């Protein structure tokens, strides 16, 4: 029976044919070639993004085999083909009579199905193109629109999705899940780079939330907000009044962002701020635990930095330096007028005994406490120093370093004369005791003391294998003798 009906890629054309956008060598064939001495095929209509001439430029028709190939339209485009058969001529039967049934049309599209010019019943044999447009028109502004796609995917070919002006609280969402089924997540997935991309094309697309700026003289900024059951929990946005200077994060149940209740604020150049809105609260950094009962550090206006009771061996320190170490400074606030503030290092108290203040250094380093100006003073209440004993290197010229501590030993290993020079790094009030041991095997050489030492008299010779001690304090200009061993020890 002579008929103009066709297949596309071996399938029926009823209701339109969905193709892969831009796919080449798509095959059209006359479904029944019996009785059809003549056949013609061409694209006769398209949507507004292309033309019949563009589609026909890729169309190759084999009139003998009654087949043709063409290139599928781009995503979001559609085309209508007209197929005509004939017996004695195109569209005519054996008697030469024109037969309208010898002509038929069918539609192909890629991506979302759109309407072609002069379309009639190519999409739906009953409703025609109304089946595409009317569901959208009936929803109207503010109503829900369902988009059905192949295998759960709805391709969107437009550059923007924009709600009309009158829509109240426009929403992207999914209807409530059925009983007994697990709710599904919604994923926003920016474009990934092609596996063969190079250079800048290897960078994946970003997810961007572009908030509008206030109009006119307005200063209240818009925010990106995360809510739970309608209650806001988290906001990100610009700082009101300083939108180009600071970026903010607000966090907390039902929090309303203000310029004082932010959690984090940063200018991206010099400063970052952690904040607790209530002055009695604290910024708590928790380490190795799920709550503040674990090891944590809290910062607040009243108590400063406080380690939790669960913290083990709390400290303020710097990691190991690869080359030359740098100074770690604890400094109270400077003032331009009036009295400066104190920097206090205190020990804890207890019902049995107070804790200790430990200033601990490495084997070759020291703790130095000194004023920064001639008018500064170092005051201590009932101080008591304990420290290591430093060994002086015996030579013809010996120079103690008073910053190493109060106690020094000197082993005299030969009978040569030697000099004890003025100690370096002296501080007024510092003390120094030198323990001299004669291990020369006989009478040691003459000891010459620098003029910086104010002594009661020459130190008597020390018998072999014996020792003497002598103590001084620094007056600010001289080392004044306090006492010495009356006899060899």
Domain 389-484 = CATH 3.30.420: no
Using CA atoms, how far apart are residues 216 and 202, in angstroms rounded to an integer?
40
Report pLDDT for 384. Answer: 44
Report pLDDT for 190. Answer: 92
Using CA atoms, how far apart are residues 131 and 121, in angstroms rounded to an integer?
10
Report pLDDT for 315. Answer: 74
Using CA atoms, how far apart are residues 358 and 221, in angstroms rounded to an integer?
50
Q: How is the chain split into domains, by residue range?
A: 6-137, 223-274, 279-308, 389-484
User: How would DSSP label each residue in 199-253?
Assistant: GGGGSPPP----PPPPPTT--PPPEEEEEETTEEEEEEEEETTEEEEEEEEEEST
Using CA atoms, how far apart are residues 261 and 232, in angstroms rounded to an integer?
14
- The helix/strand/coil state of 55 is helix
Computed on alpha carbons and rounded to an integer, the radius of gyration of the chain in Å comes to 46
Residues 6+ away with beta carbon under 8 Å from 370: 378, 427
Report pLDDT for 305. Answer: 74
**Do the Cβ atoms of 441 and 463 come closer than 8 Å?**
no
Using CA atoms, how far apart are residues 460 and 458, in angstroms rounded to an integer?
6
6-137: what CATH class? mainly beta
Report pLDDT for 382. Answer: 41
pLDDT along the chain (489 residues), means of 10: 93 94 96 94 96 97 96 95 96 95 96 91 83 70 53 58 80 88 91 94 94 91 92 91 86 88 89 83 72 63 70 72 70 66 63 59 57 51 59 96 93 96 93 96 96 95 96 96 95
Closest CA to 256 of 278, 229, 223: 223
Report pLDDT for 320. Answer: 74
Can you read off the two tokens belonging to residue 423? 């100690």
* CATH fold match for the domains 6-137 and 389-484: yes
Report pLDDT for 436. Answer: 97
**Do the Cβ atoms of 39 and 62 come closer than 8 Å?**
no
Report pLDDT for 126. Answer: 82
């Amino acid at each position: 029976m002579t008929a103009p009906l066709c297949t596309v890629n071996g399938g029926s054309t009823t209701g339109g044919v969905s193709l892969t956008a831009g796919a080449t060598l798509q095959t059209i064939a006359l479904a029944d070639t019996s009785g059809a001495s003549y056949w013609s095929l061409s694209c006769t209509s398209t949507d507004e993004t292309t033309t019949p001439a563009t589609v026909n430029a890729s169309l190759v028709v084999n009139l003998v085999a009654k087949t043709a190939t063409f290139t599928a339209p781009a995503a979001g485009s559609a085309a209508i083909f007209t197929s005509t058969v004939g017996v004695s001529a195109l569209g005519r039967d054996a008697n030469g009579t024109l037969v309208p049934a010898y002509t038929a049309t069918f539609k192909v599209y890629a991506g979302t199905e759109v309407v072609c010019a002069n379309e009639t019943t190519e999409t739906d044999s009953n409703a025609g193109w109304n089946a595409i447009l009317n569901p959208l028109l009936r929803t109207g502004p503010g109503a829900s629109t369902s988009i059905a796609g192949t295998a759960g995917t709805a391709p969107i070919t437009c550059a923007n999705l924009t709600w009309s002006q009158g829509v109240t609280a426009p929403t992207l969402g999914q209807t409530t899940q059925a009983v007994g089924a697990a709710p599904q997540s919604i994923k926003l997935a920016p474009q990934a780079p092609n596996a063969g991309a190079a250079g800048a094309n290897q960078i994946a697309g970003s997810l961007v939330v572009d908030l509008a700026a206030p109009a006119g003289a307005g200063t209240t900024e818009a925010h990106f907000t995360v809510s739970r059951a309608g209650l806001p929990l988290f906001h990100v946005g610009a700082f009101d009044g300083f939108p180009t200077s600071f970026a903010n994060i607000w966090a907390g149940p039902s929090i309303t962002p203000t310029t004082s209740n932010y959690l984090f604020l940063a200018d991206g150049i010099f400063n970052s701020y952690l904040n607790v809105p209530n002055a009695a609260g604290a910024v708590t950094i928790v380490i190795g635990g799920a709550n503040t009962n674990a090891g944590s550090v809290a910062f607040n206006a009243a108590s400063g930095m406080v380690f939790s009771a669960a913290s083990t061996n709390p400290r303020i320190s710097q990691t190991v330096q690869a080359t030359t170490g740098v100074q770690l400074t604890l400094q109270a606030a400077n003032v331009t007028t009036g009295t400066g503030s104190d920097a206090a290092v205190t020990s804890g108290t207890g019902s049995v005994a107070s804790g200790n203040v430990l200033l601990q250094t490495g084997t070759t380093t020291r703790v130095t406490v000194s004023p920064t100006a001639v008018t500064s003073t170092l005051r201590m209440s009932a101080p008591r120093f304990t420290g290591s004993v430093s060994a002086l290197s015996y030579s013809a010229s010996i120079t103690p370093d008073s910053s190493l501590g109060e106690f020094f030993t000197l082993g005299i290993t030969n009978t040569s004369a030697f000099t004890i020079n003025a100690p370096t790094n002296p501080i007024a009030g510092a003390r120094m005791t030198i323990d001299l041991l004669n291990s020369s095997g006989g009478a040691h050489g003459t000891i010459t003391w620098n003029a910086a030492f104010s002594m009661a008299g020459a130190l008597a010779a020390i018998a072999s294998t014996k020792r003497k001690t002598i103590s001084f304090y620094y007056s600010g200009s001289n080392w004044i003798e306090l006492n010495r061993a009356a006899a060899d020890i």
